[in-house]
Structure 1
Amino acid sequence: MFAIFKSSRFYLAVGLTLFCSLLGSFLAGFPYLQVIGALVLALVLGMVLQVFQPVVTQAKSGIGFISNKFLRLGIILLGFKLNLIDLAHAGVKTILLAIFVVSGTLVLTYNLARKLGVEQRLAILAASGTGICGAAAVMGISPQLPVAPEQAEQKQEDEVLAVAIVAILGTVFTLIELGLKPLLHMTPQQFGVMTGGSLHEIAHAVAAGSAGGPVSLDTAIITKLSRVLLLAPAALIIGIWYSRSNHISTGAGQHKLPIPWFMGGFILASVVGTFLPLGAAVLAALVKFAYLFLGMAMAALGMSVNFRVILQRGGKAFLAASISSCILLAFVIVASKLFF
């Protein structure tokens, strides 16, 4: 593994993906692009780089490393964004809502997708992104779905497709919820619960929640982070279930249970960030590094996209996620009105 650090192709890949990640973060600061988010913008910029195919081909070996290892590092660092005390103060109702939202949306989206004929792996990734936290969930769950080497390219296509689905739906539903705001007559807390409980990316929850004022924004972030916290147990459960279901269907030998060690790092980072006096500036820097590495991983993914395959395979998964997103929004509106 260490040999790759001596390769000029690796540093070319680092340079390209770092450029996309930094540019994505910069563009996400603009009002109309803020709703899309830095991670999705980095993915799109990686796709655009395919115009320079000879350069991308040169960097190919490094791209695979970045999309795998930098992804895990980014998710570990993202744990510093989770303040466990703030989540505890949010109360049992918020945690219970997150559990219902994540588990219900995962099961609903997966089963809808399978009924429509979507392949198992793509159905799981689309369900994870819809139910938990968008692109970060897709990339966090994906390592729990091991494939044979000859299927690695198709798995990357599934990842990109699932990210694209949640990016488009998250943006559309952000605009829908902003349009519904004057019609629902919610308190700032209720509106924050609705946005944080139903939208796909953290960026979507922030963009919509901020429209309701500071109380609404804080509530949206806490509610959304309650869902993010469930990424680690969801990854473990999905990984075990996926291994067992494939063992039954293929008749293969025993599979080693996929323990997501980087998710342990994610939880450890949240514990350290919560209970050690690191200071707000240090925590903010660590979270920025998290998004930097995640952006690089997303850019690497974008640089390896097969557009033709995505267009051919995306329709049914998009339909399943759209239906479940509508049901999710209706459920969270009712729950926020009744319990918050």
Structure 2
Amino acid sequence: MFSPNKRADTINGILFVSLFALAAIQISQWSWIKHAGISPLIVGILLGILYANTLHHRLPEEWLPGISFSARKILRLAVILYGFYISIQEVLAIGWAGAGTAAIMMSSTLLLAYWLGVYLLGMDKQTALLTGAGSAICGAAAILAFEPVIKAKGHQTAAAVATVVLFGTISMLLYPMLFDLGILNLSSSGWGIYIGATVHEVAQVVGAASDIGQTVCDDAVIVKMTRVMLIVPTLLLVGWWWARQQIVETSNKRAPLTIPWFALGFLGVVLFNSLHLLPASRVEQLQQVDQFLLTMAMTALGMETSVKKLKGVGIKPFVLAALLFIWLIGGGYTMTYLLTWR
């Protein structure tokens, strides 16, 4: 796609996606959208889907490789740079209770998603895993990271992202309500752990926890970032398991092992960020660049998604996400209470 005779068209496609991404970031700053905890990634995929089902036929076909490049190559770079949001010091600060709750809820939710999705609801493995990743780890960003590892398609990714929007938004309304009712016996730190270990997106964690208190919000964000850190071993295990599955299903003993090198790059950036070699202002700039690249990748995936394909996925991802949501609320409270009880 970057050969001399195609390079200009590919770059035009990338620039086309970047314009949509800029629009998504601006729209996400509208007060009511920001208050609802809807991230630029979500706005981006919605804009992409809107374009794919209205004006896509007006795009020169030669630009399509640029959209594909944005949805896959730029995605990997964005996942690597996501490490600038996390430091080892922040993860260690939450203690064993926070780390343990985050790890247990992440792993149990992902395993439950696969079992319920594939064996109870009869879903395809990719959609079940993507839906589980969105609920278990870090919403849309986790879905994007899983997509290339399990060879998912654009409409499967879009369906999984839609579940994050719905149930993450409900979380932002539900958790402050539960706190006000006083029916859950949790301390201030316990509430931070509970929200951080069970709410989908980082923005949604902030939205749910900030209504309760600043200390709760700070603890919740750190626990949430611990869940994000767990994406590295999870992607490595899923990549190994997926290769084994392909061997069984195709009877091919030489099925390639999908090693998500970008996950190792993400870990490397986390370690580098933990050394605090860059000034805070420069780290913030890199975070903004990463947010833009993630939005580009999500927008490009939306541009590859038609409503017809989404209809083919059906309602099952939402049923699965609802079951996982119930587990996150009940199971998350139980684990938080047990690990923080004194």
Q: Same fold (TM over 0.5)?
A: yes
Match of 2:134 in 1: 129
Q: Give the counterpart letter for 2:217 in structure 1.
A: L
After superposition, the Cα gap between the structure-2 partners of 1:11 and 1:5, relative to the gap in structure 1 and judged at 3 Å, is farther
The 4+ residue runs of structure 1 with deviation greater than 4 A are none
Match of 1:145 in 2: 150
Shift of 1:57: 4.9
After superposition, the Cα gap between the structure-2 partners of 1:124 and 1:192, relative to the gap in structure 1 and judged at 3 Å, is same
Shift of 1:6: 5.3
- 1:287-331 C-alpha deviation (Å, 9 max, x unpaired): 111111010000001111121221231311210121011111112
What is the aligned length?
A: 333
Match of 1:332 in 2: 332
Aligned-partner Cα distance in 2 for 1:213–1:19? 37
Shift of 1:267: 0.5
SS in 2 for 1:12: helix
After superposition, the Cα gap between the structure-2 partners of 1:320 and 1:36, relative to the gap in structure 1 and judged at 3 Å, is same
Aligned-partner Cα distance in 2 for 1:9–1:176? 47
Aligned-partner Cα distance in 2 for 1:183–1:168? 23
Q: Give the counterpart letter for 1:317 in structure 2.
A: P
**2:124 matches 1:119:** yes
RMSD: 1.8
Match of 1:60 in 2: 64
Shift of 1:8: 3.3
Q: Is the 8 A contact 1:83 1:273 kept in 2?
A: yes
Q: Is the 8 A contact 1:24 1:45 kept in 2?
A: yes
The residue correspondences of 1:147-226 to structure 2 (distance < 5 A) are: 155-184=153-182, 186-226=186-226
After superposition, the Cα gap between the structure-2 partners of 1:133 and 1:22, relative to the gap in structure 1 and judged at 3 Å, is same
- 1:240-263 C-alpha deviation (Å, 9 max, x unpaired): 111102211221232222211111
Match of 2:80 in 1: 76
Shift of 1:168: 1.8
**TM-score of the two chains, using structure 2 as the length reference:** 0.92
- 1:191-217 C-alpha deviation (Å, 9 max, x unpaired): 222221111111111111111221111
Match of 1:38 in 2: 40
Q: Give the counterpart letter for 2:101 in structure 1.
A: L
Q: Give the counterpart letter for 2:104 in structure 1.
A: F
Moved more, 313-322 or 19-28: 19-28
**TM-score of the two chains, using structure 1 as the length reference:** 0.92
Match of 1:266 in 2: 266
SS in 1 for 2:55: helix
SS in 2 for 1:212: coil
Aligned-partner Cα distance in 1 for 2:139–2:172? 13
Aligned-partner Cα distance in 2 for 1:306–1:324? 26
Match of 1:151 in 2: none
Q: Give the counterpart letter for 2:106 in structure 1.
A: V
Moved more, 136-145 or 56-65: 56-65
The residue correspondences of 1:170-319 to structure 2 (distance < 5 A) are: 170-184=168-182, 186-319=186-319
Moved more, 205-214 or 246-255: 246-255
Aligned-partner Cα distance in 2 for 1:106–1:192? 22
Shift of 1:37: 1.1
SS in 1 for 2:314: helix
Aligned-partner Cα distance in 2 for 1:226–1:92? 11
Aligned-partner Cα distance in 1 for 2:261–2:283? 22
Unaligned runs of 5+ in 1: 147-153
Q: Which has the higher helix share?
A: 1
- 1:71-102 C-alpha deviation (Å, 9 max, x unpaired): 00111100011111111111122111111011
After superposition, the Cα gap between the structure-2 partners of 1:79 and 1:90, relative to the gap in structure 1 and judged at 3 Å, is same
Q: Give the counterpart letter for 1:60 in structure 2.
A: L
Q: Give the counterpart letter for 2:257 in structure 1.
A: L
Shift of 1:189: 2.2
Aligned-partner Cα distance in 2 for 1:88–1:22? 35
Unaligned runs of 5+ in 2: none
Aligned-partner Cα distance in 1 for 2:307–2:136? 25
Q: Is the 8 A contact 1:4 1:62 kept in 2?
A: no
| Identity between Structure 1 and Structure 2 (%) | 29
Q: Is the 8 A contact 2:14 2:69 kept in 1?
A: no
After superposition, the Cα gap between the structure-2 partners of 1:217 and 1:30, relative to the gap in structure 1 and judged at 3 Å, is farther
